[in-house]
Amino acid sequence: MAAAFRSQNRYFPPPRRLCPLEDAAINGANRGLMRNRWLTVLLLGISTAAAAHAQDPTPTGGSEQALRVFLDCRRCDFDHFRREAAFVNYVRDRRDAQVHVLVTSQQTGGGGRAYTFDFIGLDEFAGRVDTLVYRSRQTDIEDEVRDGLLRTFTLGLMPFVAGTPLANRISISYESAEQGEMQQRPADDPWNLWVFRIGGNGRVRGESSERSYSVGGSVSARRTTEDWRIELASNGRYNEDRFELDSSETFVSTSKNFNAEFGIARSLGQHWAFGTQINVNSSTRFNRDLAVSAGPAIEFSIFPYMESTRRQVTLFYRLFVTRIDYEAITIFDKTEETRLQQELILSAQAVQPWGSIHTFGEASFYLHDLARHRLEIGGGFEIRIVRGLNFNMFGEVARIKDQIYLSAADIPEEDILLRRRQLGTDFEVFLNFGFSYTFGSIFNNVVNPRMDEIF
């Protein structure tokens, strides 16, 4: 399809004439500027750039007729879209577009992702909104996902393209599926919707006086239906660092972390869910030789769960009991203890044409002593303020009064510097922000991957 558009002679400029800059270069050379070799090279270089600029074709499809599209997608290969869907003009600001394509995604129960394409009409298409969904599988490679996204994007634009002069140059083809390629129904699934995953990794690094290595692994199993969500997962990691401080002294620091959890949730309609979680973990940093917690949880969603890719406001409450065996005696003179806790989380998120926002507030308490608590608020946003100007920020702040696990023993300075042990604190603050401003040509259809290493 793209090749057909490029073959139209009307989109190529007439035979090139010498631009004024070239005339000046040639005339100047005839008058004796060739005596200066460096000046001649400079003029020829400028004239070549000007000539190349003069030969630049108009955006593919013709800027007067091709549909102007603003693609708002964080997981899309833009170069692939520009190459393969060359029947539209890609603009870099939604205010210049006739169609704003907003793409959001969520993980599916099978380990893939569900991509929701909202085609939002602007200008003469204002008020029109179409929605398509593409679902990838966990086993899909990057190229398969990329082609699936492109196919959905192209299909969704057809109703808009039909209202432009380019409609008579669009052809649609259909490929019938082989019998063996037909998607199986859930009833035919030999795994009964269960998805398993196993992973492992390692890292080794060395210098003349420093060596470190790390090994880790994970395993998970999950099953997701409209009514139930079940997941079992575990992961662990061991780290060791060796530093030769001098010829007779070597410092060795080790840490280990292990976590395993089982969670099950039951849907109670489009607004409520109920579940429970069991967690087992061990952590050098948090002075836990072994900790086991379990308890029920309930969640309420203000908006229906089916709208979660675009907007979601939820209130989550959990009550659980925790049994902890410590590696070292704590500042409260404990080597082990059993405590009852409760947790309340309010979170909200939205993805809209103007940008995205996510906020949360969390409170947790030990019921034996309400003074032992943690309060945390945070969130982030990315907003298009004016044409080309984007601002983003993320941050969180926490009041920390629940560190009952702190070791009473002195922590070596080396473990503090390596963040192998947690220090006592009353608060924690994190803030990250930035902005970007883009200006220039509103069109950006050309793909040129040459010499990426120098750009």
- For residue range 93-126, what is the model confidence (pLDDT) as tens digits? 888 888 999 888 888 877 788 888 989 988 888 8
What gap in Å lies between CA 279 and CA 341, rounded to an integer?
A: 14
Structure token digits, residue 433:
């922000």
By the 8 A CB rule, do 109 and 401 touch? no
Winning range, highest mean pLDDT, from 321-325, 350-354, 383-387: 321-325
Strand pairing partners for 381?
Answer: 357, 393
Distances (CA, A) of 63 to 13, 66, 280: 14, 6, 60
Reference 324, options 293, 291, 295, 294; nearest CA is 291
Collapsing DSSP to helix, strand or coil, 151 comes out as helix
Q: What is the pLDDT of residues 199-225, one digit of tens each?
A: 999 999 988 888 999 999 999 998 888
Q: Taking a C-beta distance cutoff of 8 angstroms, is the pair 15, 51 a contact? A: no
Tokens 């569900």 -> residue: 114
Q: Residue 409 and residue 95: Cα distance in Å, rounded?
A: 61
Bridge partners of 360, per DSSP, are 347, 378
Is the pLDDT confidence value at 19 over 70? no
> Residue 449 is which amino acid?
P
Query: For the residues of 339-387, what is the DSSP string, one character each?
Result: EEEEEEEEEEEEEETTEEEEEEEEEEEETTEEEEEEEEEEEEEEEEEET
Q: 295 vs 18, which has greater pLDDT?
A: 295
Enter the tokens of residue 373: 């608590």
Query: Quick one: pLDDT at residue 283?
Result: 92
Sign of CA dihedral 242, 245, 248, 253: negative
Query: Is-contact 403 57, C-beta < 8 A?
Result: no
